[in-house]
Amino acid sequence: MTLGGILVLLFLLAVGALAVTTLVVAVRGGRGPGDPPASHARVDPAGFFSA
């Protein structure tokens, strides 16, 4: 396989992975609540770190 063929194969695999990830996020309704900084005790509501 030539270098061009390998690059095309890698590109198609990346596009496929992106499509699957997009589909999973769309079906699940998002990636979840995440981890907002304000949920940590070490961060005050104004957004400054309290040591």
- Domain region containing 6: 1-28
| pTM for the structure as a whole | 0.54
Q: Output the pLDDT for position 48.
A: 61
Q: Is residue 48 part of a domain?
A: no
Domain count, the chain: 1
The length of the chain, given as a count of residues: 51
Q: Is residue 4 part of a domain?
A: yes
Q: Output the pLDDT for position 25.
A: 81
Q: Is residue 36 part of a domain?
A: no
CA 5 to chain CA mean position, Å: 28
Q: Is residue 39 part of a domain?
A: no
Tens of pLDDT, residues 2-51: 999 999 999 999 999 999 989 988 887 766 665 555 555 655 566 665 55
Task: Give alpha helix (H) positions in the chain.
Answer: 3-28
Q: Is residue 35 part of a domain?
A: no
Q: Output the pLDDT for position 1.
A: 79
Q: Output the pLDDT for position 24.
A: 85
Q: Is residue 41 part of a domain?
A: no
Cα distance between residue 27 and residue 24, in whole Å: 5
Q: Is residue 51 part of a domain?
A: no
